[in-house]
Amino acid sequence: MAKQMDKAAVREQIARRAEQEIVSGSYVNLGIGMPTMVANYIKPDKQVVLQSENGLLGIGRSPLKEEVDPDLINAGKETVTASIGASFCSSAESFAMIRGEHLDLAILGGMEVSENGDLANWMIPGKMIKGMGGAMDIVHGAKKIVIIMDHVNKHGEPKILKECSLPLTGKGVVDRIITDRAVIDVEQDCLVLVEVNEGWTVEEVVQSTEAELKISDKLQVTTL
């Protein structure tokens, strides 16, 4: 049951579900943190090019211990592998790809998402951060934005809100939200609950979401 899974298992479940959003032949950016895990679950029959803001086009899975190269990292400074045919470039060229709208999909983490698709994922006021990263460019440059995150924060409070309380990364940029409890689409006038994870009920998802949810006529139960 989803409620009894440990944190690592829940993160793996979210990453596996997010992998289903990736279409063969697409160019994809994976944000730092949990989104980087998605690279480990991409099916072998999918032809996908993963892009990183720091200048790597063709990221592979996470390296085994004997494969670690400290000079080969993603934008989150995690060691990665390079897939066959990978190429390296400057950050300027990498951001030109992003700003030129050459990314088909970006899977990013989120702190808060509002009912109209606003995203807050780069800072909490009062806490030290290293910088804003590339998310502000990515959310406007990628053709589709999928946010993966826990449904509630460590205090049990909703992270899907009527309005974001944290500084915004972008306004109206989110297309889909994938959490440990549900999959929710951001439509023009509402949020639509399209999937409920096994172990959770519709009522529990609604109660743990501040924003109003419309229930899809084709609601599915996600089993991973």
Helix (H/G/I), strand (E/B), else coil: 147: strand
Residue 109, domain extent: 2-222
Just list the catalytic residues: 53
Q: What is the CATH number of the domain that holds 105?
A: 3.40.1080.10
CB 212 within 8 A of CB 155: no
Please state, for a pLDDT cut of 70, what percent of the chain lies above it: 97
Three-class SS string for 77-129?
Answer: CCECCEEEEEEECCHHHHHHHHHCCCCCEEEEECCEEECCCCEECCCCCCCCC
Average pLDDT of the segment spanning 78-83? 94
88-111 tens-digit pLDDT: 999 999 999 999 999 999 999 999
Number of domains in the chain: 1
Average pLDDT of the segment spanning 13-29? 97
Q: What is the pTM of this model?
A: 0.95
User: Is 1 a residue whose pLDDT tops 60?
Assistant: no
